Amino acid sequence: MKCPFCGNIEDKVIESRTLSEGEAIRRRRECLSCSQRFTSYERLEERPVVVIKNNGNKEFFKKEKILNGMITATEKRPITVAQIQSIVEEVTEELHRKADREIYSKEIGLMVMNKLQKLDQVAYVRFASVYKQFTDVNEFIKEIKSM
């Protein structure tokens, strides 16, 4: 990294520290030419995930949306807010790890559904009825009977 004092590009890292829950790494560096010390920060590039809605419109992914959907689906069910939040975090992380930053809203719905299914069947059906948009009632009944 270019030394801010003399412009030399060779340095050694004398200390690395992870900041704010792994969101950044702070490095203390020492220039090999002039021995001045300076600090660099390394952060993940924040690239937004784009969601393609059923009508073809695009919008940026917001975790509040799936959070709201899940809170509605889990009403009066024995599921804690912490459980809901951990699913939201898992899904958000999976989305951010995808190379392709565009995803259909249906796919996000499926990701949530798969996780919800392991947690609570009733919440799963409620969520599915909204997000899967069953093409007809029979399909919906089939889904419930298969549980």
Helix, strand and coil content of the chain, in percent to the nearest 5, comes to 45, 20, 35
Cβ proximity to Zn ion, 5 vs 104, nearer residue: 5
Q: Which residue ranges make up the site for Zn ion (CB under 5 A)?
A: 3, 5-6, 8, 31, 33-34
Amino acid identity, position 105: S
Sheet with 50-52: strands ordered across: 58-60, 50-52, 102-104
Minimum separation from the CB atom of position 12 to Zn ion (A) = 12
Cβ proximity to Zn ion, 31 vs 112, nearer residue: 31
Cβ proximity to Zn ion, 8 vs 40, nearer residue: 8
Query: In the chain, where does DSSP find H-type helix?
Result: 63-73, 81-97, 105-119, 121-131, 137-145
Minimum separation from the CB atom of position 9 to Zn ion (A) = 9
Amino acid identity, position 127: F
Minimum separation from the CB atom of position 53 to Zn ion (A) = 52
Cβ proximity to Zn ion, 34 vs 44, nearer residue: 34
Minimum separation from the CB atom of position 81 to Zn ion (A) = 51
What's the rounded Cα separation, in Å, for the pair 23 and 21?
A: 6
Residue 140 tokens read as 């919906």
Helix (H) or strand (E) holding 31: strand 24-31
Residue 61 tokens read as 């992914």
Cβ proximity to Zn ion, 39 vs 72, nearer residue: 39
Minimum separation from the CB atom of position 33 to Zn ion (A) = 5
